[in-house]
Chains A and B, each alone.
Chain A
Amino acid sequence: MKEYLVDIRNERLSFFTPAGEVKALNDVSLHVREGEVLGIVGESGSGKSVTSYSLMGLTAHPGRLVGGDLYFNGHYINEMSEREMQKIRGNEVSIIFQDPMTSLNPVFTIGNQIREVILLHTNKTRKEANDRARELLQLVGINEPDKRLKQYPHELSGGMRQRVMIAIALACEPKLLIADEPTTALDVTIQAQILELMRDLKEKLGMSIILITHDLGVVAGMCDHIAVMYAGKVVEYGTTDEIFYQPSHEYTKGLLRSIPNLNEREHKRLVPIEGLPVDMLNPPAGCPFAPRCRSCMKICLSSMPNYTQVSDHHSSACWLLDKEKFERQAEGQA
């Protein structure tokens, strides 16, 4: 357990809404080592954001952890009180959100918001905190930091606001940075800048990153390992190369087939994944992807598949892999 900075085991989390129980996370297991970047890829309803928020104890009401164990940096998150969580938030683990406009408080200056987190977790004086804030703005590539410290969020552009978010997140040198769709709301050229910045900072500060996104292009360039999530379950997990070049799960394969590649020389029809996203109030009994899967078998509809280890770091939850094993066994006996 100590080898991992983040170790989530068999997490189950549900939202108890008036309409019914929404099983947002259904047996999710992930881990991140120090200095590593994990990408969590999934669409809406996959549970990718919910997982990270639960790690920080930020699960919104009416959500509740129903099962599993969460370990982070030697802490056992399940049993930590709110006060204890507050000590590690912003300090050992930070998060940056998708929309920088709504995550920054419009009535406080940038300087005020950066100083707030520093003053909360360290014993620095206000002046020292201000110096550190200036340092941080330079670190994230914002020029004229003194001027910026006095400005309000609405005076900055989207890209700059996201840099400020990163500055706030890094203020106390956390071991883990959670980036929840950090560039989805930004223009492509600005996205490139921010991703470049995150790569640089990771080298400089040696921190781990959990990068949550739906964009396969973004994870290809940034991540060491990738977890593909669908409807509250991690369906495939492996190194970046394995996921892109040897995808095992039908959902992963489907995603890769359905995105147009800029470098393609000829026009090939996209192969979409048929069907609709899962209704989380009424998920199917078996594999959640079954109704949309080209290779769906009878057992897929009734039972949840187990994880099969495809290689040292690569696993996938699919009955097709069990089928191969089953057939090999049958041949062996024959």
Chain B
Amino acid sequence: MAEKNLVSFQLKVEDFLPATDAEKQSLTQMRPGVSFWKDAMRRMKKNKVAMISLCVILIIMIFSFILPSYYPYHYGQQIQGSEYLGPMTYSPQEQVRIDAGEKVFPHILGTDNLGRDYAVRVMVGSRISLSVGLIAAGIILVIGSIYGAVSGFFGGWVDLIMMRIVDIIYTVPDILLIVLISFALKDPMQTLAEKPGFAWIQTIGVNLISIFLVFALLYWVGMARIVRSQVLTLKQNEYVTAARALGAGSGRIIRKHLLTNSIGTLIVMTTLQIPSAIFTESFLSFLGLGVAIPLPSLGSLASDALNGLNTYPYLLLAPALLISLIILSFNLFGDGLRDAFDPKMKS
């Protein structure tokens, strides 16, 4: 190998002094830590569609949960003479009051057949739908992940039996079960509602309780299957053997090692369950099997709006649009989360 000539470079005696440990250390600093979450958040931020969906979700949340408290109208408040008002119009009685100098808050989306301000009904309806979606998704997450993790972890006979139960549950028709349960529970719930402290049963309605019950009984199976397959893969990892060698029991291994490492999947699946649950609830409310009157839900609002569709189309437009928006934004956000957590995308 030929030597290079040092032309513009003078060597001095000091250059050849030994380097101190400190000088050597300064060259081997560890890069600042990047945790799994930071990495995922970074990827999320790059995904414009997901970020926009997140903003939409936040706006809808504010719209549904915070705004109604500050709104001058109540969802159950029936204003005589203000039936079927178009958006931003006033009834004759209200017109009189305005002329008298009183400030009357406009009906931004008009009113419905009973003179109730539609805007606030849509807001509260959306709140109910979202709550149902979130609670249902929560129930599915808890039951499904525990069931799937236990089945996947123990394997053998336990797994076999548990999964056959799941197969059977898959075959049960959900709508039928909801109808049957609501029917069966109607009377017992009525008697229960009359006891002190259980008045909320009346407000929510037997139907909604049945819906939650059926979610808890049937809808978690999809999550269970996915968690089980995750656990089956993860338990092959050597760090699980290492935990066993340390003396960790099954509960600890499932909690700390298997479920923690599935968190990406769990979050994504739960986020995608929300629109599915909302859709089911809307659909059931549309059929009359959902919330009890006067509580609105987006589905029941849509159902009521069908009656006067030709004359008052705006009554259907608002709830339908909102359902679509909620479902779309949750789905897009869930997709974005899945991409952000997907280890295959790591370079």
Contact = CB atoms under 8 A, between A and B. Distances in A.
B66 to A, nearest CB: 39
Q: How large is the interface on A (under 10, 10 to 19, 20 to 34, 35 or more residues)?
A: 20 to 34
Nearest to A276: B28
Interface stretch (B14-22, B270-278, B307-315): B14-22
A85 interface: no
Interface string A266-308: 0000000001100101101000001100011111110100111
Contact of B4 (A295, A298, A300, A307): A307
A78 interface: no
A279 B27 CA distance: 10
A177 to B, nearest CB: 24
Given A296-B19, A298-B17, A307 B24 contact: no
A276 B30 CA distance: 11
B2 interface: yes
B347 A307 contact: no
B3 A307 contact: yes
Secondary structure call for the A interface: mixed
A287 B3 CA distance: 16
A72 interface: no
Nearest to A292: B24
B24 A291 contact: yes
B31 interface: yes
A237 B27 contact: no
Interface in B115-166: none
Contacts of B23: 298, 301
Contacts of B168: none
A296 B24 contact: yes
A18 interface: yes
B200 to A, nearest CB: 53
B246 interface: no
Contacts of A309: 1-3
A254 B153 CA distance: 47
A146 interface: no
Contacts of A308: 3
Interface string A95-119: 0000000000000000000000000
Interface residues of B, number: 21
A124 interface: no
Interface string B25-36: 101100100000
Contacts of B6: 306
Secondary structure call for the B interface: loop
B28 A326 contact: no
B27 A290 contact: yes
Contacts of A138: none
Contact of A299 (B4, B11, B24, B27): B11
A86 to B, nearest CB: 27
A315 interface: yes
A155 interface: no
Contacts of B9: 303
A32 B95 CA distance: 98
Nearest to B34: A19
Contact of A297 (B16, B25, B27): B16
Interface in A303-321: 303, 306-309, 315, 319
A323 B19 CA distance: 14
Contacts of A18: 347
Interface in A242-272: none
Given A18-B347, A291-B27, A306 B14 contact: no
A334 to B, nearest CB: 13
Contacts of B18: 295-298
Contact of B15 (A284, A295, A297): A297
B31 A279 contact: yes
Contacts of B4: 306-307
Interface string A213-231: 0000000000000000000
B1 A29 contact: yes
Contacts of B3: 306-309
Interface string A1-42: 000000000000000011100000000010000000000000
A300 B1 CA distance: 20
A84 interface: no
Contacts of A301: 19, 23-24, 27
A-B residue pairs, 5 tightest by C-beta: A299-B15, A315-B1, A296-B19, A307-B1, A284-B27
18 contacts: A29-B1, A275-B28, A279-B28, A281-B31, A290-B19, A291-B24, A296-B18, A297-B17, A297-B19, A298-B15, A298-B18, A298-B19, A301-B19, A301-B24, A306-B3, A307-B1, A323-B16, A330-B13
